[in-house]
Chains A and B, each alone.
Chain A
Amino acid sequence: MKLPVTLFVLCFACSLSAAAETGTTVKDTELKKEPFIDAATLATLPGQTTVEILKRQGGWTQVKPPTADKGWVRMLNLRLGDGKPRQEGSGSGIGALFNVARSGSSGTTVTTGVRGLDITKDTLQNASPNPGELKRMHGFSVSKAEALKLAGSAKLHKQSVEYVEPGAVRPSGNASSSDAPASSWGNN
């Protein structure tokens, strides 16, 4: 009886530690010394290389590959996991928690604990409108001024960025924001 509890605790510990996460490159990927495109290239990781994920910074993820020192790869060149097909409950974290809880002696699904409410096709089809809850939702609305106050306290600064068209890949290279006109709406 003790083993499942230990597993449960161990698993929970793993889920809290980001360092336990693995990722796999989707294509040949340059491993950079710093999270910048023009940083020194430490190595080129072939596609399907499984790496340990350390942290993310913007579009870059710091990783530790099996055969090289830690460095930075483009976040979008990574997928979480070891690249093998996944099965129900085989992931880390919460999914694994439930998996452990479920894998009783019979191996069949035994619901343990309070799982919480699912939103599925069935629950949506069977739902009745809930105007009272809608009213409650409206009660949480905030004014523009309140919203801007929260943004200001996190030092969020408005930037000019135009919408992008599909396939419009035009690397601009340097840090110029002159390629977009000032937006005509916003923090007034």
Chain B
Amino acid sequence: MKRIYRQLTALALGTMLASQAWAFGGFNLDLNKIISAGKNLSEASKEISEPEEISIGEGMASVLLGAAPLLKNDAIQTYINQVGRYLSLQTERPDLPWHFGVLDSVSVNAFATPGGHIFVTSGLLKKMHSEAELAGVLSHEIAHVLRKHHLAAMKKAGGMGFLTDVASIAVDQKGGGGYAGKELSKNLISGMKEILVRGLDKDDEYEADRMGIVIATRSGYDPYGLPAVLQTLDGLSGTSDVSLLFSTHPAPASRLDTLSGLMQSKFDHYQGQSVSDRFRRLVPNGGNN
């Protein structure tokens, strides 16, 4: 009992310290919530369930869509869902509720949220030359979902107690009919924003690159789609369109160097398609570097 009390104190203290370290406040969960999360320590230490993960991700996707709406082009939105859903079938989590969207933004970026929401900005889409490049980027984002990198980042920032708390809030609000715009708590929203603004662990980005090229290759695409996009991004360094992307990811040059060591020869014997014709039909301004 004493040990549990000590753990509980440590958990509460850790959460408070974490909340102070976070630049934008809003993370001062009230003590009752912390205690309720810490009450059952065995529960607090177990993994977030899949429904909880999906629920957190839906809330985070909703926040992202508050920053930029979807591009008003139904054909492109359907297309990215077809490509993305196909890629997801070549992974270990083919039955998640995967959703893909193109955000209407000049910023060059891509995002994932837990449980299967993936976004690419129209700014990034216009820099691409082929479906294989799109597949490379989507596969990188899919890998973040597969490996639950965002949940790891939330855990790191706020502690496991916080994550359990967030999940319970999210699931409470989800109710029976799915997340349907029910009021998300301010703490929850600011926590999601922090992850979007701060980005993920750098090693997780490198892992998503490694997995991304494999998922795209498995799906029959040219393995070099993602590296080609990274090469384009490297050429954009110093421009404002990539400022958030560059502040939340390792430099494209470093990512290319890492992939270079990894891919040299190993991926040459895979026959992959670039599928540039239908990509260009749907994204006529593609490849504007």
Contacts and interface: CB of A to CB of B under 8 A. Distances in A.
Interface of A: 15-16, 18, 21, 26, 36-37, 56, 58-59, 74-81, 86-95, 115-121, 123-138, 140-144, 146-151, 154-177, 183, 185-187
Contacts of B82: 142, 146-147, 149-151
Residue picked from A74, A128, A136, A141, most chain B C-beta under 10 Å: A141
Interface in B55-70: 58-59, 61-70
B109 A119 contact: yes
B62 A142 contact: no
Contact of A132 (B181, B227, B243, B247): B181
Contacts of B256: 76, 79
Contact of B244 (A121, A127, A129, A186): A121
Nearest to B279: A154
A36 B228 CA distance: 18
B63 A127 contact: yes
A70 B153 CA distance: 47
A138 B180 CA distance: 11
Contact of A116 (B98, B106, B206, B222): B106
A117 B89 contact: no
A166 B206 contact: yes
Contact of B217 (A56, A159, A170, A186): A159
A24 to B, nearest CB: 10
A141 B99 contact: yes
Contacts of A140: 74, 77-78, 81, 99-101
B260 A124 contact: no
A89 B239 contact: yes
Interface in B186-238: 189, 193, 196-197, 206-207, 210-211, 213-214, 217-224, 227-228, 231-232, 234-238
A186 B231 CA distance: 30
B179 interface: yes
B269 A124 contact: no
B241 A151 contact: no
Contacts of B68: 117, 119, 123
B235 A168 contact: no
A63 to B, nearest CB: 13
A158 B220 contact: yes
A142 to B, nearest CB: 5
Q: Which of A26, A87, A132, A159 has the most CB of B within 10 A?
A: A159
A76 B263 contact: yes
Contacts of A147: 81-86, 89
A159 B272 CA distance: 9
Given A76-B259, A142-B81, A150-B86, A172 B270 contact: no
A174 B273 CA distance: 19
